[in-house]
Every structure is written in structure tokens, then in C-alpha cells.
DNA sequence: CGACGCTTTGACACAACTCAACAACCGTGG
DNA sequence: CCACGGTTGTTGAGTTGTGTCAAAGCGTCG
């Protein structure tokens, strides 16, 4: 087992949960990525409408993917956390349909787009693993869609923080009831499809109900069961390997 | 050019727009699919939470993918149209996170899940093409998310019918200004994140503004420019082949 | 210290939901 | 042929959730 290697490279660690990767495949993944570089806060990684991009693997820090609209509003699609791919789709579709920007100082490794396609010839299993990762990402977007489309602001927010917590826990960045979360109320509003002011009201309500608190970039969940019930949250199935 | 073959199989036709497929690859696609079978209206193709499914290619008719919630509500994720994959993700993730059901009489071809994985070894380029198709699908979900999250009911509905029209036009099922659309107001409500009654009011408004009409399963767009402006609609980029 | 970013609060407006009823349409069976 | 029930569409009245505007509180950092 290549534990060290897996720990050093979050992408490998992630794909490895899906298919058991060989040394050759792990090596290919390593060569695919450039040396990690750091990104300043607020800096855009991928611009909407751009062509011929790179993709990135987020190694540390927080980012968000979003689409901005003509009226100046924006909708945040998701928050990549360490280990997640950024802009994978833009490599395949050749043109990005949304932007990415760093929410905190972050470090990313670039992935060479042209070599990406070549992988499918050289290491087909790796291709399947990447497809699997893309599918997981899409499943998250679907969850997000359901959340916004069919839940009230309160339920929606509860669900959001539970889901985020679960994802962070999978990569060791959250405990059972607490995690660091640098998202401010404006960012949350853009993610939840609410106004920033209403996010504030909702957070207060969650606090007053004794369910959870977001203060100083720290989420603390006081009553997991009640919060899960409110948010209509169901635990994810564990991953089965192929 | 295998025009006949491409026309006979909608999946091949679709993937072929991305990578130029060889005879071997086209043949593989054909073998991958079972003989088309017909599905009764309202019948479920994939059940949420099921494991070990097949995927399907929709050859004719309408379907929808949706997630249902504990309170009986549901959110429709998308409407596969002929040529689209159904349940591709459930094959990869091994467990489906949402359901599919037929909205009209439909015909589908089954795809064998186990062989699906094998494709990546035998025909890597085909794997890349499938990944590309999955990416397109995800881009549609993202559009849907933005639509629901950041647009008013009126804008949202306008955008929805324009987007649907464009997709149908790509497969020859819509003209510039009109297309058949068997979706009733309840279904539209579940897709747009609105109540059925409000959908009715919005449709009336669109009608009274002289923008578009939905009557008797037929969408007629009266003023494309104005509708596009209202819905914040931007035409898709044409596909570039690899 | 002031400036700035973020949070909090209140008052009010408006969009969208709910409930309740009715109208049009369509296939079915008498 | 008409009467019927079921489904879908239509409309109005009243309620509620969420957005908007305006202003003040708080921390942090220069």
C-alpha cells in the first residue's frame, strides 16, 4: 500500500477509494500534476467563458465555483474542499461555463489538460476513476439543486451545514460536531439562493433553537439529531470499491 | 462516415459529435445496448436507493429524473430527451441517488453496467466521450441550479422553455419557435421549484406579455428576443471536436 | 483614531404559497 | 348520444416567507 504517496497527493487518495490504483497509475497521477502553487485570497482560478484552461486539484484552503449573472448577482455552485477537482469539466467541454475563485489562501496543483485526454489511452482505469469522481461531484450539485428548489430557508441552511460537515469529515477536516468554516453571510447567501440579510436571520434562528452556531469562522453543531431532522438530511452511503 | 449507423443509434450520434468514432468503437456501442424496449407512461426506470442498476439510453419519448423528499414533495432534476443517458451516474456510484420515470410512452435501450466499466479498457476514447457526455449533463444541472437559485419565477420559466427548446432543436425535435412539450403544470412546478398554481399564473403572464404560449402540449414562442432578454438566456457555444 | 468589512436589527414591500372553488377537457360507460 | 368522473387548467382572497432599504454595532487593521 502506498500510504505515504496517497497522503502526499489528495487526488490520488480520493481516486484510490474508488479503484485500487497500481504503482504505474499513481505515478501517472503524480506526473500529471504540477508543483503545488499558492493562490491569493479572492483570486480567480478559472474565468467563465475562457477557453483552453487548466484544471486544478485543490490541495489546501477553500474555494468556490459560481456563475455570475448579468444583473451582478451570482449563484455559487459548490465549495471545493481539499482533494477536489476544479475545472475538470471545462477541460472536457473546452469552454468553462462557470468561474472559480479562492475564498482563502489556497494551494493548488495544476493539471495539464492535453495530457488529461491522453490518460484514457494509457491508463483506462484511471479514466474510469476520474469519471467516478466527476459523478460524485455531479451528485453534489443535484443535492444542492434539491435543497434550493424544495426546502425553506431554514431547512436549506441546516442541510447545507450538515452536508458540508460530512464532506469535511471524510478528509479529516471536521469532527463530529464542529469544523472551521470561513464562509461569510454574503457567500452563504449566494450559495443558498437567499439574501445575505435573510441568511443572518436564519442563522439567528438556528442559534436560538439551540441547533447550531456559526461564529468566528467556526461551525458548532449543538443538536445533530434535531438539525438532521430539520434539514431532511440523510447520511450518505459508504463508497464501494470496484 | 457511418451516417446510417449514427442515425440508427442516438447515443452514437451524440458521442460522435465529440470524438470522431471508429468503426470498432461504433460497433462496441451497438453491442453495448440491448434491443430497444418500450416503457409505459409513468413507469419508473430507476428507483432511488436501488443498487446494481442498468443505465438506459432514451431513444424516443419523454422522461424526467427527480428526487423525492420525505414530505412528499419532489424536485425534478432534468428532462432527458431522446439521445440522453439515463442513470449513467448510478452505474458508476453503484447506488442511485435519484429516480427516473417516463412521462410519455417511451422507448429505451438498456446498457449493461458491468460491460460499461470494461469499455474503458477496450476503447479508451469511448470512455473519454462518455465522460464528455456526463460533463454536458452536469452543465445542464448547473444551469438549472442557477435558474432556480437566482431568478424570479417569471425569468426562470422563460429561461426553462428557451433552454428546453434549444436542446430539442439539436436533435431535430423543435423548430425555431415551436415544439411539442407534454409537461403539465404540476410537472413544471416540480422542475422549477414553484407551486403548480404559481406556474399557472406565470404562464398566463408570459402569454399576456405576448412572449410565449403553452397550450395543448405545444410550446409556441412569439417573441424570441424579448423572451431571451427576460430569461437572461445566452446561446450555448457550438461543440468543438477533439 | 478612523476606515473598513462583516454582522445584526427593524420596518416595510412584494413575490410566491395555500386554500378553496370552479371551468374546461377527455375518455369511459351507460 | 349524453352523463359522468378524473385530470388538468384557471381564478380569487388571504397568508407567509423572503427581499429591500436603512441604520447601527462590532472587530480588526492600518
Domains and CATH numbers, chain B: 3-140 (2.60.120.10), 152-231 (1.10.10.10)
pLDDT value, residue B52: 64
Q: Nearest nucleotide, C1' to the C-alpha of A193?
A: D18
Question: What is the mean pLDDT of the segment spanning A40-65?
Answer: 82
Lowest mean pLDDT among A5-9, A103-107, B140-144: A5-9
Q: Which residue's alpha carbon is at the shortest distance from the C1' of C17?
A: B195
Verify whether the Cβ–Cβ distance B131 to A135 is below 8 Å. no
Residue B41 approaches strand C within 7 Å at CB: no
* Closest in A117, A132, A144 to B145, CB measured: A144
Verify whether the Cβ–Cβ distance A131 to B92 is below 8 Å. yes
Residue A194 approaches strand D within 7 Å at CB: yes
pLDDT value, residue A68: 92
Nearest CA in chain A to B77: A142
* Nearest chain A Cα distance for residue B60, angstroms: 25
Short-list B93, B92, B102, B84, CA closest to B46: B102
pLDDT value, residue A2: 41
Q: Nearest nucleotide, C1' to the C-alpha of B201?
A: D10
* Closest in B77, B127, B135 to A128, CB measured: B127
Residue of A28, A48, A64, A139 to mutate, interface with B, max B Cβ within 10 Å: A139
Question: What is the mean pLDDT of the segment spanning B186-192?
Answer: 97
* Closest in B71, B121, B138 to A138, CB measured: B138
pTM: 0.91
Question: What is the mean pLDDT of the segment spanning B22-42?
Answer: 85
Verify whether the Cβ–Cβ distance B132 to A193 is below 8 Å. no
DSSP for residue B174: B
Verify whether the Cβ–Cβ distance A120 to B125 is below 8 Å. yes
Chain D bases having any atom below 7 Å from a protein CB: 8-12, 17-22
β-pair partners for B4:
none
Number of C-alpha atoms within 13 angstroms, CB side, residue B4? 0
Short-list B187, B217, B189, CA closest to B201: B189
> What would the grid cell of residue A74 be?
451570482
pLDDT value, residue B129: 83
pLDDT value, residue B131: 77
Verify whether the Cβ–Cβ distance A93 to B146 is below 8 Å. no
Highest mean pLDDT, choosing among A127-141, B19-33, B200-214:
B200-214
B202 CA to C17 C1' in angstroms comes to: 14
3-class SS shares of chain A: helix, strand, coil, % to 5: 45, 20, 35
Residue B72 approaches strand C within 7 Å at CB: no
**What kind and span of H or E run contains A124?**
helix A124-150
What is the C-alpha to C-alpha distance for residues A14 and A91, in angstroms, rounded to an integer?
20
Q: How many beta carbons lie within 10 A of that of residue A44, not counting itself? A: 13
Amino acid at each position: 500500500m502506498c500510504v505515504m504517496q496517497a497522503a502526499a497527493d489528495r487526488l490520488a487518495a480520493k481516486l484510490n477509494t474508488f479503484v485500487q490504483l497500481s504503482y504505474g497509475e499513481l505515478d501517472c497521477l503524480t506526473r500529471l500534476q504540477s508543483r503545488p502553487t499558492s493562490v491569493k485570497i479572492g483570486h480567480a482560478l478559472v474565468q467563465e467563458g475562457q477557453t483552453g484552461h487548466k484544471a486544478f486539484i485543490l490541495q489546501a484552503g477553500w474555494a468556490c465555483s459560481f456563475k455570475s449573472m448579468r444583473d451582478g448577482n451570482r449563484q455559487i455552485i459548490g465549495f471545493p474542499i481539499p482533494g477536489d477537482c476544479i475545472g475538470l469539466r471545462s477541460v472536457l467541454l473546452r469552454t468553462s461555463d462557470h468561474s472559480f475563485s479562492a475564498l482563502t489562501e489556497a494551494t493548488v496543483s495544476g493539471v495539464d489538460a492535453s495530457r488529461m485526454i491522453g490518460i484514457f489511452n494509457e491508463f483506462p482505469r484511471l479514466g474510469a476513476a476520474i469519471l467516478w469522481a466527476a459523478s460524485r461531484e455531479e451528485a453534489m450539485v443535484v443535492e444542492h439543486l434539491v435543497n434550493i428548489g424544495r426546502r425553506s430557508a431554514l431547512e436549506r441552511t441546516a442541510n447545507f451545514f450538515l452536508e458540508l460537515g460530512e464532506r469535511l469529515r471524510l478528509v479529516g477536516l471536521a469532527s463530529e460536531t464542529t469544523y472551521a468554516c470561513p464562509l461569510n453571510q454574503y457567500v452563504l447567501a449566494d450559495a443558498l439562493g437567499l439574501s445575505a440579510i435573510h441568511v443572518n436571520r436564519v442563522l439567528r434562528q438556528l442559534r436560538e433553537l439551540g441547533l447550531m452556531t456559526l461564529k468566528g469562522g467556526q461551525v458548532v453543531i449543538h443538536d445533530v439529531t434535531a438539525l438532521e431532522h430539520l434539514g431532511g438530511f440523510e447520511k450518505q452511503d459508504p463508497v464501494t470499491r470496484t
